[in-house]
Amino acid sequence: MVARTIDYSELESFQGQEIGVSRWFEVTQRSIDLFAEATGDRQWVHVDVERATRENGGTIAHGFLTLALLPVMLADVLEITGINHALNYGLNKVRFTNPVRAGRNVRVRQKLLSTEPKAGGLLMTSEMTIEIEGEDRPACVAEGMGLLFPGTGRLDTTAKAEGA
């Protein structure tokens, strides 16, 4: 999948528009287990496949794992040229609206909400909706911010993972 390319100087004109949609990424039990190991969050609903299958129809991904997939998915959506570097500025709001079961595919849909000058750069606020393949209700809706600084380079996130 080829990301949409937008120059820093043109970002403002895309306010209120959908930027694009990523490809599907599989959320594997292995990625859930690795996240549990990294964070210490080993609740049975995430890591005990036998019990979760019996009591819950299968394991589910941690909400924060779902959120942590945003960088790799967003790399599919947008490449920004005319910048020196970009920083994650944080989140205004995050809602986990539907659990992601192990083995399911997710993708992100990005909409540019606003841009505003900040700290010698541009604060870009986006709505990011993480969809689950085959389901009507998304897994997560988050409003995130990135601080972009102008220059001669590009936001290069081409070191993409093959799966989540």
78-108 pLDDT, tens digit each: 999 999 999 999 999 999 999 999 999 999 9
Would you place residue 164 in the very low, low, confident or very high pLDDT band (cuts 50, 70, 90)? very low
Q: What is the pLDDT of residues 11-39, one digit of tens each?
A: 999 999 999 999 999 999 999 999 999 99
Whether residue 33 lies inside any domain: the answer is no
Mean pLDDT score of the chain: 93
Whether residue 108 lies inside any domain: the answer is yes
Residue whose pair of structure tokens reads 């080993």 in the numeric block: 42
| Structural domains counted in the chain | 1
Please give the Cα distance from 110 to 48 (Å, whole number): 33
> Which CATH number belongs to the domain containing residue 124 in this structure?
3.10.129.10
Whether residue 141 lies inside any domain: the answer is yes
Whether residue 95 lies inside any domain: the answer is yes
Would you place residue 2 in the very low, low, confident or very high pLDDT band (cuts 50, 70, 90)? confident
Provide the residue range defining the domain that includes 119. Answer: 4-26+63-152
Please give the pLDDT value at position 163. Answer: 44
Please give the Cα distance from 9 to 152 (Å, whole number): 12
Whether residue 164 lies inside any domain: the answer is no
Would you place residue 158 in the very low, low, confident or very high pLDDT band (cuts 50, 70, 90)? very low
Whether residue 43 lies inside any domain: the answer is no
Whether residue 19 lies inside any domain: the answer is yes
Would you place residue 122 in the very low, low, confident or very high pLDDT band (cuts 50, 70, 90)? very high
DSSP 16-79: TSEEEEPPPEE--HHHHHHHHHHH----HHHH-HHHHHHHHSS-B--HHHHHHTHHHHHHHHEE
| pLDDT over threshold 90, residue 156 | no
Q: What is the pLDDT of residues 50-83, one digit of tens each?
A: 999 999 999 999 999 999 999 999 999 999 999 9
Tokens of 40: 């210490």
Whether residue 118 lies inside any domain: the answer is yes
> For residue 82, is it left (φ>0), alpha (ψ between -120 and 50) or beta?
left
Which has the closest alpha carbon to 5: 72, 111, 110, 76?
A: 76
